[in-house]
Amino acid sequence: MRRAIFPGSFDPLTLGHHDIITRGLPLFDELIIAIGINADKKYMFSLEERIRFISEAFKNEPKIKVNTYKGLTVDYCKKVEADFILRGLRNPADFEFEKAIAHTNRKLSEIETVFLLTSSGKSYISSSIVRDVIRNGGNYSVLVPDTVKVN
């Protein structure tokens, strides 16, 4: 079984994330969307909200599971017996950052990282931009799946 994880904070899930997940599905038998928990980070959305955004967005996709984890991503991969990490790249800066992480993960374990380029119409979207739009009362709905709702 080809199992991959797609790790991130998903604060919130964006159309960029959705694009990578959807396009990554044919590559794997199972894709675990792994929400990392970092006690030092301040999130806009609660963990429960982030799980709900993702679960509802992919409720009709049996190959997707949503889980949370703490600690090193490679340790989580070992725990769930994932052979791959799926990552999206929006720009050259993402590539340089993600390349360093992928090399480190490969040094620490046998895990392979699979990179997909975000579709051009979504490459400008990031969770931090979405959070800024939300904080300032902008129309965030054009940047996220319909399942992301601000209360």
| SS percent in the chain: helix, strand, coil, step 5 | 40, 20, 35
Active site residue 87: no
- Residue of 43, 46, 25, 40 whose CA lies nearest to 116: 25
Strand order in the sheet with 30-36: 64-69, 30-36, 3-8, 84-89, 112-117
Active site residue 149: no
Active site residue 127: yes
Active site residue 50: no
- Which residue of the set 3, 9, 17, 55 is catalytic? 17
- Which residue of the set 41, 42, 107, 120 is catalytic? 41
- Which residue of the set 18, 50, 87, 90 is catalytic? 90
Active site amino acids: 17, 41, 90, 127
